[in-house]
Chains A and B, each alone.
Chain A
C-alpha cells in the first residue's frame, strides 16, 4: 500500500448512545455537532479544569486505526484529545494524547482496535473550546502513491487577489480571498478487488461528505487536507485487464 491515506469512515456515525461521563454537554452546541460533517457548527466544551470524557456506545463492535479532527481552537487553549476503547475489562488508550500546535487538520494513526465502546477524552485546559469535526475509524490507502503532476493540497492554494494602486501608480492595498486548495487525485492501476472493496465504499461516502487526505503520510504526516469532491466524480475506466484508472477532483482546506 502507498503512503497516501484517506480517513473517511467515522464510527461516531454508528453511535447508538453516548454520555458525558465527565463534564456537561452544551445543549446549544451538542456532541452531535462534531460529527455531522458541517464545519459551521461545533461542539462547545465550557472551560473545565477536569478533562471531558465522552463515552460512545456503537451499534456493534467496530474497528478503528485512525483519528482525525479539524476546525478546533484546542491548540490555542493548550488542550489535547485522546481516544480510548473498552477492551472488555477496562478503558485502554487507542490513540496517544494529541496536543495540536496549530489549527490545521490533524490525522493520527494507531494500532487497530475493535470495540463497541469508545471514549473521547478532551482536555480544554480550563478554556472554552469548540470542535467542528472529529472522525475515527479504519483508514484506507491507495494501492500506489500519487503520480507525477499531482499538486500537493497544502501547496495548491486557491487565492484571489484584489489590488489597489493610486492614480500615480503607488500600491495602496491588497486584499486576499483564500478559497482553500484545489487539486486532482489520479488513481491508476487500480485492481478490480481494490475498486470493489475499498474504492467504491469510499466514493459512496465522498459523494456526500468530506474526508481527510494525507497525500504522503510517511514523509509529510502533518500535511493533512480536509477535502471534499469537486464537481462530478470520475468513473473508473479500464486501462489494462483487471486494472482501472480514475481521476478525482477535490477541494478543501489545509489551514
Chain B
C-alpha cells in the first residue's frame, strides 16, 4: 500500500529506519582485479581504509540499517534495533538568504555483533567477532572516511496487510551528510551527527576564487604589459583572465610559457602601480551579466564541491527567467571569499533564497515574489487541519520594511565590500504612507549593499519587491498538523484560515504564508511548522478583458484573478480592499 494511503489511515503504525550509506569495495579479496594476496584471516574489510590494493579499490556503497525496537516489522527486514533517538534541527529558510541548515543527531546503542553480513571474510578470521569489540567500534575503525557519506532517515508505516521486504522503498526518505561520529563511549552510546549538503558551502570549507599559488618571478612597473610568474605555477591561470596583485586589478589576454601577456593595468577603478618579485598573483573570479541562478550554481558546484545532481538546474533556470529576467548580476571577486558569504550576497541582491529539501534530495531556489492569483495554494484551517491549541501568532516587527536603500555599482573591488563609500550609486524607495504618524510612525530600513548590482533597474526592482512583501509587519505563525497533511513542506506557500488570524469583523481571515520550517515532532504522526506571512500590502491581479462585469457582479474567481478600479479611498463599492498598480 502506498505511503500516503497508510499515512492517512486511522491507526497507522509509524516506523523510522535510519540508514548509513558507507563506501564499500565491489571486488572480492584476491580475486582479479584485486591483487591483494594476504593469508586467510588477514583480508581487508572491503573498505578503503584497510584496502591492500588501493589502485583497484572499486568503490560502491553498503547500507547499514537501524530501527527502534517495535513489534510488527516485516520478516526479512535486516534492520538492527539499535536506534535510540533522532534529534532533528530542521532547515529554516529566510526570504533573502541561505537560512539555517538542517542537522540531525542520531543516537545508537552499541552492541556485540557477529560480523556476518558485515565482514565478507568473517569465516576466516582468527578471532571471535561476537566477543571482540563492538559493532560501532569496528564500523568506525573500518570506515574512518565517513565524512559527507549519506545518512538517510526513512519514515513510513507498516502495512499489516501486505508484508513485503521491499516496503522501505515506499518510505519518505530524508537525506543528510555525515559530519562526525561520537563514541562509542563507556555507556555504549554512539552519536552520528549529519547535516544538509549546504554545509559544504561553509566559509571555512569553501572559498571562491580558490587561492592562487603563483607569485611574480620579477618586479613589474606600473606600465608593463607582460609579467612573468615564478616557474611551475602557470597551470593555475587560464589563457586569459583577471588577476589581482596587491591592490591592482589587471586583465590579461594571453599566456606564453611562464608569462601572462597583454596586460591591461589598473582595471575596475584600481590604480596601476609597480609590484615586487614574489608578490602574490591572485586569479579573480569574474561574473559578467550572468543569471543569478547560474552564479549560485557555479559557486556551489565548482567552489563548494556540491554534486550537480543535487541541483535541479532546469527548475532554477525557470524560476530565474520568470522572476529575475532583468536581474543579471556582475561582480569581480578579487580575493578568496567564503562561498556562503558570496551566496548570501547574491540572495540578498536578488531577494531570493535557497535551502536543502531533504525529501526531494535537492537544493531548492526560489525568488521572493508576490503570489500569482493564478497559483492554487494549499489551504489549511482550524477544522480540518490545524491541531488543537497548536497555533501561536506573533508580529515579526523586525521584518517590516518602510524604506529600502540599495548601494550598487561597486567602485573598487579590492576595497571593503561593506563600505558604502565604495559604491557609486544609491537607490532609495520610501513608503511614506507606512511611515506616517497615522500608521507605523517609525522607519524600518533595509539596506542592501551589493557588489552584484551594476544598474538601477535591478535596484529599483528589489526595492519595490521588498516593500510590496513586507511594508506591513508580517506575522509569524507556528502550528502543528497531523501526518495526513505533512505533504506541506518547507518552502511552500499556503493559505491559512484560523481563528487566531481575524479580520476587523472577527471572522477568520485567509492569509498566505511561506512555510519556513517543518519539523517532525512525533514520529510519523505530528508535524510542527513555522510560517511567515507572505502577502502583499494590496491586492495583485492581472488586467482583465473588457467583457468583465462590475466588481460586485463578477465571479469570485474573476475577482481574485483580475484587477478592478477602486474608489478614491482605495476601497471597492462593497467595502473590499482595492487593488494596487505596482
Please list the residues of chain A having a beta carbon within 8 angstroms of any beta carbon in chain B.
27-30, 32-33, 36, 39-42, 44, 71-73, 76, 103, 129-132, 162, 164-180, 253, 255
Contact = CB atoms under 8 A, between A and B. Distances in A.
A76 B162 CA distance: 9
B70 A177 contact: yes
B79 interface: yes
B10 A167 contact: no
A172 B163 CA distance: 26
Interface stretch (B35-43, B252-260, B275-283, B521-529): B521-529
B116 A164 contact: no
B165 A166 contact: no
Given A41-B116, A178-B72, A166 B382 contact: yes
Interface in B384-411: 384-391
Contacts of B482: 164, 172-173
A103 B163 contact: yes
Contact of A166 (B72, B75, B76, B386): B386
A167 B483 contact: no
A220 B136 CA distance: 42
> Considering the complex of A and B, which 8 residue pairs feature the smallest CB-CB distances, nearest first?
A167-B382, A130-B76, A175-B525, A173-B482, A172-B482, A178-B71, A73-B75, A164-B482
A176 B11 contact: yes
Nearest to A71: B75
A144 to B, nearest CB: 30
Contacts of B116: 28-30, 32-33, 41
Contacts of B78: 29, 40-42
B420 interface: no
Given A36-B114, A162-B525, 4 more contacts: A103-B163, A170-B384, A172-B484, A173-B10
A169 B81 CA distance: 36
Contacts of A169: 388
A165 to B, nearest CB: 5
Contacts of B71: 178-180, 253, 255
B179 to A, nearest CB: 27
B126 interface: no
A167 B11 contact: no
Interface of B: 8, 10-14, 67, 69-72, 74-76, 78-81, 114, 116-117, 120, 163, 165, 382-391, 480, 482-484, 498-499, 522-526
Contacts of A28: 116-117, 120
A123 B117 CA distance: 23
28 contacts: A29-B116, A29-B117, A32-B116, A40-B78, A42-B76, A73-B74, A73-B165, A76-B163, A164-B482, A166-B382, A167-B382, A167-B386, A167-B390, A167-B498, A167-B499, A168-B382, A168-B383, A170-B383, A172-B384, A173-B12, A174-B12, A175-B11, A175-B483, A175-B523, A176-B11, A176-B13, A179-B69, A253-B71
Contacts of A33: 116-117
A57 B408 CA distance: 85
B525 A130 contact: no
A192 to B, nearest CB: 36
Nearest to B391: A167
Contacts of A166: 382-388
Contacts of B387: 164-167, 172
Contacts of A72: 75
B486 to A, nearest CB: 10
Contacts of B384: 166, 170, 172
A24 B326 CA distance: 67
Contacts of B389: 167
Contacts of B70: 177-179
A164 B484 CA distance: 10
Contacts of B385: 166, 172
Given A165-B387, A173-B482, A132 B75 contact: yes
A152 B388 CA distance: 37
Nearest to A167: B382
A33 B120 CA distance: 15
A90 to B, nearest CB: 32
B75 A175 contact: no
Q: Which of A71, A166, A173, A176 has the most CB of B within 10 A?
A: A173
Contacts of B114: 32, 36
A165 B508 CA distance: 19
Nearest to A165: B388
A242 to B, nearest CB: 40
A179 B68 CA distance: 10
Given A32-B114, A33-B116, A164-B482, A130 B165 contact: yes
A164 B482 CA distance: 6
Contacts of A176: 11-13
Contacts of B76: 42, 44, 73, 129-130
B149 to A, nearest CB: 21
A110 B410 CA distance: 90
B75 A103 contact: yes
A44 B114 CA distance: 17
Nearest to B75: A73
Contacts of A41: 78, 116-117
A22 B382 CA distance: 63
A176 B499 CA distance: 30
Contact of B163 (A30, A73, A171): A73
A9 B10 CA distance: 41
Nearest to B384: A166
B537 to A, nearest CB: 28
Contacts of A170: 383-384
Nearest to B162: A76
Given A173-B10, A173-B12, A255 B72 contact: yes
